[in-house]
Amino acid sequence: MPGTGGTQGAKALTSPDRLHKIDQLREKNVGAHMPLPQLVVVGDQSSGKSSLLESLTGIPFPNGQGLCTRYATQITHRRDAVQAITITIIPGPDAADEEKERLKAYQETVESTDELVTRFESILTKHRKLEANAAMGIRNDLNPEGVRTFSQDVLKIEKCGPAEDYLTVIDVPGIFRNTEEGVTTESDKRLVLDMVKSYIEQERTVILAVLPSTVDIMTQEILNLAERFDQSGERTLGVLTKPDLLTERSTKAVVCDLVNGKKRPLNLGYYVVRNRGADEDSEDSQSFREREAMFKQEPWCHLPPDRVGIVALRERLQELLGHITDRAFPKLRAQARKMLDACKKELDDLGFSRQTEREQQQYLCDIAGQFQTVVRDALGANYTSNETLESDELRLITDIVNMTDEFNQEFSQLSQSRFFQPVASADDGESDDGRRAHGERHHHVNEPDASKFPELDSIIDTHWTPEQPEGDIMGWINRIYHRSRGADLTTFGPGLLLGAFREQSNKWAPFVKLYMSKVILIIHRFVMTVLARVCPDPRVLDELQSALDADLRERYQAGMDQALFLVSIERDMKPYTLNQAFSRELQRLRSLRISDKLGEDFIDRFDRKVVYMDKVKSELGGKNNVKYTEEDIHDILQVYYDIARERFVDYVYRLAVDNCLLSGPTSPLSLFSEKWVLALQTQSLASIAGESLRVTGRRDQLNKKMQDLQSAIEILR
């Protein structure tokens, strides 16, 4: 057929193999990821697009309304030993896998153009599952069961034969301004416009702007769109149709001025073509020559011959397609590899796929493993070996040891209700004021802000402040002795010592609760901060923290309960110790008390301090039973209190802090582990580690894109 084959191959600057590879890329949906060299025919409805395509390609498009105007149509010519015309469907970029397989299954083949003329309309509209319009779900009068007016799918018509020169042209639905009730909507109008834009905005697309000569070219929206996306004008070629309908000399002159570049010039220029009219039933050599003869008449005969007629336009399009393909081909390979690397990196950033139970377990186990590694390094003070621990607030064991030293110092000086009576020889002259000075706090800890962790409000209390002990302990002992003394004149009952010890240690519980609260805050801050650093997905982090919350608080509470239990053990049971230091220290205090009384009676003899026995007897005999008992109560209470206090501080750290909160089997630091992950029920596991719809969707998109790009790299080799 004239204009469909046998043109000079020298006009094409690239090999047919390259052009075929570009079409293969388009079939693999690579065009959705990077621009491909292509010729796209655009224009308004009734601009003569269908007739132009038929003239260019020799494909006899049906005249029925709504048959080929609801989706893009790709017409490909390819030289091959076998002559055939194959019609297939290229699924749209958003098609689901199942829909893609269904659309790819569609195929119709005819042997000649004459057979296509006979069957084309039925191929497009016949009511069978695999007919084109029905397969794409197009709704029209012939297919009322369709679900859409326009489709993103592409109808591909490939014409092969020994006389075919390579050419691929893509036709998109015509732009329309007015909707038709029951047929098109405002939404359809926007969809078509967006579809046109999606093609012409691509940098490797040559825009064939079809413009009817019968309208004012300056008002054509398609030229305005082309200028918007091709500001340099290097990709836009104007095709002026229907010149035979012009009757006035002035309107013909306007068309000639456009072709000669005198009005609204384009770098690729304008071409004038005359297509087959709607009343012409068939295309043959005779009718083709008669139409082309028009350009030998006035004023068309004065136009450059290479700017008029279908043959000239077709040769120019082949030349353009070859040129942009040659220019783009090496860049396509590099671009495909670069985009594939970017996809792989983004997939890596998304982490493990988390769609199956096994994948979810692996994902959480990996996070749990990282968490436990940080915990081990933090407990061992191996801060330099783990970059996560570079932050001051994550120096876990250091903060807790410093906090414990501070607790021990303050507890030693401020935990008793009253200062014990100073004995000059015992404290080397240290006064009550000196003791109070020891109560000053030395901050060595980056203490957490409790208000940031309201979930711990029911467990901790950081508002209590220890007060200075009171003085006049002997007056207090005198009062409790006279309230509880018995008939025995020489000693006191065990209940008195228990009561005295309980009252002297009544600050132990709030003191220990304050200390444990600060330790729990340090640990909880550590847990929350490290979780946030090893878990990159904010949604997973939120779900994970929620899932751990109850068990964490239970373990914190267990540590607090253990510490308060140790308080009750010390304060509620009868004072008792096996520590031999008790006897030694008590005897030392008693001796110091006597020597303190005899201080002025010592005399120096032979470089030694001595005292006469009658002085000792006089001093001891002058003390009444009550005063002696009160002093004895004081000394026993002081010695026992000091031993109990030191024992208690050790036990609080070893049994409550270390065993319950740090290193023991029920430590909150050991909760989030691989064992915990593997014990999760399927539903809980999915709730925590399952991917969000957004991540799943993005992962699917990336996997599909990678498949397309890998196919592209194979094709472009």
Instruction: Flag whether 592 is in a domain.
Output: no
Instruction: Flag whether 228 is in a domain.
Output: yes
Residues 237, 119 within the same domain: no
CA distance 711 to 24: 9
Instruction: Flag whether 407 is in a domain.
Output: yes
Structure tokens at 325: 């393909």
The residue among 76, 72, 68 whose CA lies nearest residue 51 is: 68
Residues 503, 379 within the same domain: yes
Q: What is the CA radius of gyration of the chain?
A: 48
Segment 198-217, tens digit of pLDDT: 889 988 899 999 999 988 88
The count of domains in the chain is 3
* pTM higher than the cut 0.75: no
Q: Which residues pair with 212 in a beta bridge?
A: 241
Residues 208, 243 within the same domain: yes
Residues 323, 391 within the same domain: no
Instruction: Flag whether 698 is in a domain.
Output: no
Last residue of a domain, one of 132, 163, 194: 163
Highest mean pLDDT among 139-143, 510-514, 536-540, 687-691: 510-514
pLDDT band at 533, cuts 50/70/90?
Answer: very high
CA distance 312 to 50: 18
* pLDDT exceeds cutoff 70 at 284: no
Number of H helices, E strands in the chain: 24, 11
Residues 86, 231 within the same domain: no
β-strands 84-90, 107-110: how paired? antiparallel
Last residue of a domain, one of 310, 338, 366: 338
β-strands 205-212, 38-43: how paired? parallel
* pLDDT exceeds cutoff 70 at 460: yes
Last residue of a domain, one of 106, 139, 163: 163
Instruction: Flag whether 309 is in a domain.
Output: yes
Please give the residue that has the higher pLDDT: either 257 or 630: 257
Our measurement of the distance from residue 390's CA atom to the centroid of its chain's CA atoms, rounded to an integer in Å, reads: 24
Residues 489, 370 within the same domain: yes
Residues 459, 396 within the same domain: yes
Residues 46, 143 within the same domain: no
Domain membership of residue 233 as a residue range: 14-67+177-338
| DSSP-assigned letter for residue 463 | -
Residues 331, 361 within the same domain: no
Task: Give the chain's mean pLDDT.
Answer: 83
Mean pLDDT of 566-576: 90
Task: Check if the beta carbon of residue 209 is closer than 8 Å to that of residue 175.
Answer: no
Instruction: Flag whether 9 is in a domain.
Output: no
Please report, in angstroms and rounded to a whole number, the separation of the first and last CA atoms in the chain.
35
Mean pLDDT of 673-702: 91
The residue among 369, 393, 377, 375 whose CA lies nearest residue 453 is: 393
pLDDT band at 11, cuts 50/70/90?
Answer: very low
Residues 276, 368 within the same domain: no
Say which CATH number the domain at 280 has: 3.40.50.300
pLDDT at 437: 41
CA distance 660 to 558: 7
Residues 61, 90 within the same domain: no
Residues 244, 282 within the same domain: yes
pLDDT at 567: 95
Instruction: Flag whether 484 is in a domain.
Output: yes
- Please state, for a pLDDT cut of 70, what percent of the chain lies above it: 83
Task: Check if the beta carbon of residue 412 is closer than 8 Å to that of residue 438.
Answer: yes
Burial of 337 (0-12, 13-18, 19+ CB in 10 A): middle
Q: Which residues pair with 78 in a beta bridge?
A: 160
Secondary structure element (H or E) that encloses residue 236, with its range = strand 236-241
pLDDT at 444: 60
Instruction: Flag whether 197 is in a domain.
Output: yes
Is 7 strand, coil or helix? Answer: coil
pLDDT at 494: 67
* pLDDT exceeds cutoff 80 at 689: yes
